[in-house]
């Protein structure tokens, strides 16, 4: 039947028809429908998809600034779409369109979660996203309860009834959507195999997105799941070529700072790590508010970096 359809020229329609546009290839239409751009095109851009700042100024009593569960450490910080983020967006978009399994990994702090959250934020509204919270060394009942809760099912009544819970999960995953699990490196091989069994159910239409630092090594110990992963994507550190521009868009405190001073901090302390740069930005912001017209120079940046301790 597949060969017959292919010979007849039939293709899977995964994108809405668009008016007044040149007809592109099937994959190009997938990217267009998911509001994606090819990785590495153009300068980094500030996330302004919703038309409002990514992070608002803190209210009184609001102690944490975050976007999608990611702490940004400083008022006025913005999520910036770099070439690395664009590459994750493209990888996630392809995985979702293909209803497959994807793995996004990298070193701790390079921004895997930020990039994946941005990718999920850009998906069309009709694509539901289910986020499951992975505990520390969970057992199968805890894992099952997390999945039930993420999918909006009755976790309390089903989590200890294995057959009923698995049947409910299987039915829920017949709907197109994305199940996102962060910190998957916490899961044992038997739990990863449990995920594989869920996705092996006939009729499964949801995509599975696995993310975490070192998660690729954990999945390697579950060969059955590893063989089913459609997309592997490693998130690199911040691009050195655009580092100064990226930081200036991440926070206004970096505007006008010498590129050489930014390069020194990266080579000495941050080494392209997004989380480390967020912490440096927090300290630079505080130090720059000590007085009027305080200049962010090499001395101030060194003072900020010193606050990170011997293990930034």
Contact 104, 216 (CB under 8 A): no
288 plus 189 within the same structural domain: no
60 plus 174 within the same structural domain: no
The pLDDT value recorded for residue 77 is 87
Residue 176 falls inside a structural domain: yes
154 plus 52 within the same structural domain: no
CATH of the domain at 116: 3.40.50.300
87 plus 101 within the same structural domain: yes
Residue 5 falls inside a structural domain: no
Residue 87 falls inside a structural domain: yes
d(CA 228, CA 215): 15
The pLDDT value recorded for residue 108 is 93
Contact 272, 110 (CB under 8 A): yes
Contact 238, 277 (CB under 8 A): yes
DSSP letters of 25-87? -HHHHHHHHTT---TT-SS-EE--TTSS-SSPPPPTT----EETTEE--STT---EE-HHHHH
d(CA 210, CA 202): 21
pLDDT tens, N- to C-terminus, the chain (312 residues): 555 655 565 444 433 333 333 344 544 555 555 554 444 444 455 543 332 233 333 333 333 344 455 566 788 888 887 888 888 989 999 999 999 999 999 999 998 998 998 889 888 888 999 999 888 889 998 999 999 999 998 767 676 678 888 999 999 999 999 999 999 999 999 999 999 999 999 899 999 999 999 999 999 999 999 999 999 999 999 988 889 999 999 999 999 999 999 999 999 999 999 999 999 999 999 999 888 888 999 999 999 999 998 766
Number of structural domains in the chain: 2
d(CA 20, CA 79): 32
d(CA 39, CA 84): 7
DSSP letters of 93-162? HHHHHHT-EEEEEESTTSSHHHHHHHHHHTS-TTS-EEEEPP-SS--HHHHHHHHHHHTT--HHHHTT-H
- Give the domain-ending residue among 183, 211, 234: 234
Residue 247, helix vs strand vs coil: helix
61 plus 131 within the same structural domain: no
If we measure between CA atoms, which residue out of 133, 155, 143 comes closest to residue 188?
143
d(CA 270, CA 273): 5
141 plus 217 within the same structural domain: yes
- Give the domain-ending residue among 196, 218, 234: 234
Q: How many CB atoms lie within 10 A of CB 127?
A: 16
The pLDDT value recorded for residue 71 is 67
And the tokens for 137? 């060394």
* Residues spanned by the domain of 219: 83-234
């Amino acid at each position: 039947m597949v060969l017959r359809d292919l010979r007849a020229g039939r293709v899977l329609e995964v994108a809405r028809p668009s008016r007044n546009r040149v007809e592109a290839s099937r994959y190009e239409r997938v990217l267009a429908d998911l509001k994606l751009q090819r990785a590495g095109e153009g300068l980094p851009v500030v996330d302004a998809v919703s038309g409002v700042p990514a992070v608002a100024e803190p209210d009184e009593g609001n102690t944490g600034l975050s976007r999608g569960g990611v702490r940004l450490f400083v008022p006025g910080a913005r999520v910036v779409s770099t070439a690395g983020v664009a590459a994750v967006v493209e990888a996630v978009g392809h995985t979702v369109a293909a209803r497959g399994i994807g793995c996004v990994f990298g070193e701790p702090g390079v921004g895997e979660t930020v990039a994946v959250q941005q990718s999920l934020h850009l998906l069309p509204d009709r694509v539901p996203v289910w986020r499951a919270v992975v505990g520390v060394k969970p057992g199968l009942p805890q894992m099952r309860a997390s999945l039930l809760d993420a999918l909006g099912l009755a976790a309390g009544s089903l989590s200890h009834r294995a057959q009923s819970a698995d049947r409910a999960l299987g039915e829920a995953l017949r709907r197109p959507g994305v199940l996102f699990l962060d910190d998957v490196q916490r899961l044992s091989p038997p739990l990863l195999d449990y995920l594989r069994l869920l996705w092996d159910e006939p009729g499964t239409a949801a995509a599975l997105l696995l993310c975490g630092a070192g998660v690729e090594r954990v999945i390697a110990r579950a060969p059955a799941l590893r063989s089913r992963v459609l997309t592997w994507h490693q998130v690199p550190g911040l691009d050195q070529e655009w580092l100064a521009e990226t930081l200036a868009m991440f926070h206004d405190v970096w505007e006008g700072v010498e590129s050489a001073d930014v390069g020194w901090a990266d080579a000495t302390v941050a080494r392209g790590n997004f989380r480390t740069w967020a912490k440096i930005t927090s300290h630079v912001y505080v130090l720059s508010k000590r007085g009027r017209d305080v200049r962010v120079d090499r001395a101030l940046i060194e003072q900020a970096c010193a606050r990170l301790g011997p293990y930034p």
